[in-house]
Structure 1
Amino acid sequence: MDTLFVQELELRAVIGVHDWERTFAQRLRVDLVLGVTTEMAAKTDDLAHAVDYAALAERLQALAAQSACELIETLAARLADEVLEQPGVHWVRLTLHKPGALPAAKSVGITIERPIEHSAGEVAS
């Protein structure tokens, strides 16, 4: 298993529990680490056998822009679900940053890890 990563992808989303937070789209950042199999992509040098990270980034940006979550946990889970729908992705570690959420901190956020579920009650290891 190999890993593919995307660091500090900028997203914009209406997010927060306070009324003032819900009046504008806030800037967020997401870091992704994906468990992928790259053998066929490496052999063929063909994007059809790889995770198209540019297209994935666009999907995540669109999903965030359309969301209106109150909690960062909710948006992170939705983004992770979108990543896991991509062919060739076996697991995801996603860190969602909300810069400026606390005046005395550079950022707050959450890291979640999700495997692809193979069937009810069984998950990939």
Structure 2
Amino acid sequence: MDTVFLEALSLRAVIGVHAWERAFAQRLELDLDLAVDTTQAAATDAIDAAVDYAALSDRLTQSAAASDCQLIETLADRLAGVVLEDGRIARVELTLRKPGAVPAARNVGVRITRSQSEVP
């Protein structure tokens, strides 16, 4: 199994438990490590044999923008579900950060791992 990765994708979402947090879309950062067999993509040099990370980024950006979660854990789980809609992705390790949430820290967030075996 190979790894396709995406680092520091900037997202915007309404997220938080306090009313002042929910008054506007906040900036989030997303990292992905995708467990994928890239053998066919490498052999054919065809985009339809590969995970199209540009299209995936667009779907994640749209999903985050349409979300209305209180907890970052909930949004991370939903975004992992979006990733796993592509059956070629066996597993996703997803890190979702909320910069500025704790003024004394550079970042806070959650890191989760989900796999196709967990998809309903």
TM more than 0.5 = yes
| Equivalent position amino acid for 1:107 in 2 | N
Unaligned 5+ segments in structure 2 are: none
Is the aligned partner of 1:73 residue 2:73? yes
What's the TM-score, normalizing by structure 2? 0.97
1:123 aligned residue: none
| Equivalent position amino acid for 2:24 in 1 | F
Is the aligned partner of 1:91 residue 2:77? no
Contact 1:13–1:25 (CA<8 Å) still a contact in 2?
A: yes
Distance 1:41 1:81 in 2: 23
% of aligned pairs identical?
58
2:17 aligned residue: 17
Question: Per-residue CA shift, 1:64-109, capped at 9, x if unaligned?
Answer: 0000100000000000010011131000000000000001001100
Question: Per-residue CA shift, 1:2-25, capped at 9, x if unaligned?
Answer: 000000000000000000000000
Distance 2:3 2:84 in 1: 14
2:7 aligned residue: 7
1:44 aligned residue: 44
Contact 1:51–1:87 (CA<8 Å) still a contact in 2?
A: no
* Structure 1 residue ranges, 4+ long, deviating more than 6 angstroms after superposition: none
Please state whether the residue corresponding to 2:86 is helix, strand or coil. coil
Between 17-26 and 84-93, the greater mean CA deviation after superposition: 84-93
Question: Per-residue CA shift, 1:18-49, capped at 9, x if unaligned?
Answer: 00000000000000000001000000000010
Taking structure 1 as reference, are residues 41 and 65 closer, same or farther at Cα in structure 2, changes over 3 Å only? same
RMSD of aligned alpha carbons = 1.3
